[in-house]
Structure 1
Amino acid sequence: MQLEDLANEFNMDVEELRGVAAFVLGTNNLNRPLGVAEVAKLRGTVRQPARPATAGPVTAPPPNRPSRPSQGRPLLDRVRIVDLPPMERMLYEVRRAISDTRPEGTHLSFGPRPVRRVAFIKLAEAEGLRHRAAEWARAGFSVDEARMWYAEHPGIEPAVAAKLWGVGIGPVVARIRWGFQKVDERAWPIYEQVRDGSVSAEQFATELREAGVQLERTEPH
């Protein structure tokens, strides 16, 4: 199932759902068919509007009912960004900064996106932020630590970041392509090898220290 199909199912804007999916699934690679588990995870996160069991007749409003002005009406399907908890607000701000500075795509524009001022986000996006923030908190990260990792690796799983951070490997060193006890541009980055389980974070830390690479964290996590 494509992301566009889910957007139609949820009656959501595709770009809005893309932002939610990036947080919930932990990846920005969404221009592909989604797996069954990914679809189920998104369906469990996004609250779909309730639909009536049967369609009843359309009825007119009672006569002489005064119309309510739209100005000042509460936005029940929105959340103010300033009201988000610290971890969730940080994730939103970093994601927005990345989104506003990356190129649109070669078929649309080569320039940076214009910065947009946003005061509210929809409940579905807030739910995605809450889910992602809980993962970082469970992994033991403070807001500042999570900001460092998320800004460098938007799609990294907090559990993988915790393994690396726990042995002193920070987000910058985690980008090094390392193979056979030395830098190797043909190798996968350290964080991807730890994510896939091919090499442990502890082994990388040992090899890096022996090679004289300065780790970003010296105290145990």
Structure 2
Amino acid sequence: MTTADAVRRRLGLGRLLPLGGAQDGAWLTEQAAEAVLRRAAAGVPGVALGRLRLSLVDPDAAAAPAVPAPPSALPPGPLRIEADFAASAREPLPDAASALRVALFAGAELLDLAVTEVDLRVTELLDSATRTPAAPSPPPEVRAAVPEDPAGRAAVSAPGVAYLTAALGTAVRLAPDHVRIEVAAASGHRPLEVVRSVRAAVTKALADGRPVAVLVTSAA
């Protein structure tokens, strides 16, 4: 992979969002979060979700993670969803916005993301003769990586793991002061549940006391 390819892949992941609290040492890619949130929004009639972004509510109040974070990852703290949407002109806009907000909160809960605010902006009104605008195409999913060491083999065998990924260059990063593992969560498993099973399996396999950080790059 060329440097340009690596940069494009990294940008496609979006932000690395904190999962759980400071002690969890877990992150979820914005790309993975967006896929789930868009599915949740698709169930709201008369609404078409446009631009979607997640960020910290208050970066200055965010906690320091107990485990070294991946490059450019957001620190643990409450999150905000900001989204644009088109809505039918035949329905009251406050009702459409309320239904969409509920759906996005529900999607965030499924992802174990600490979303406390959802800011919505209407960008288009639709009538019966207007086609619903297509949602932006999501970036391609990250590919599976083959486990090549004890930590990777332990991680991929942990409950709830579909496969390892290498979105940041390698599926397993063994640093002197910590270990970082990248995984895709299997269908029906909550991200934090997967993170904790990976951490337990890798900690047992390595048995050297190093803390384990986990990056979830896909959540069904």
Interval of TM-score (by shorter of Structure 1 and Structure 2): under 0.3
Which one has a bigger Cα radius of gyration? Answer: 1
TM superposition score normalised by structure 1? 0.23
Structure 1 or 2: larger strand share? 2
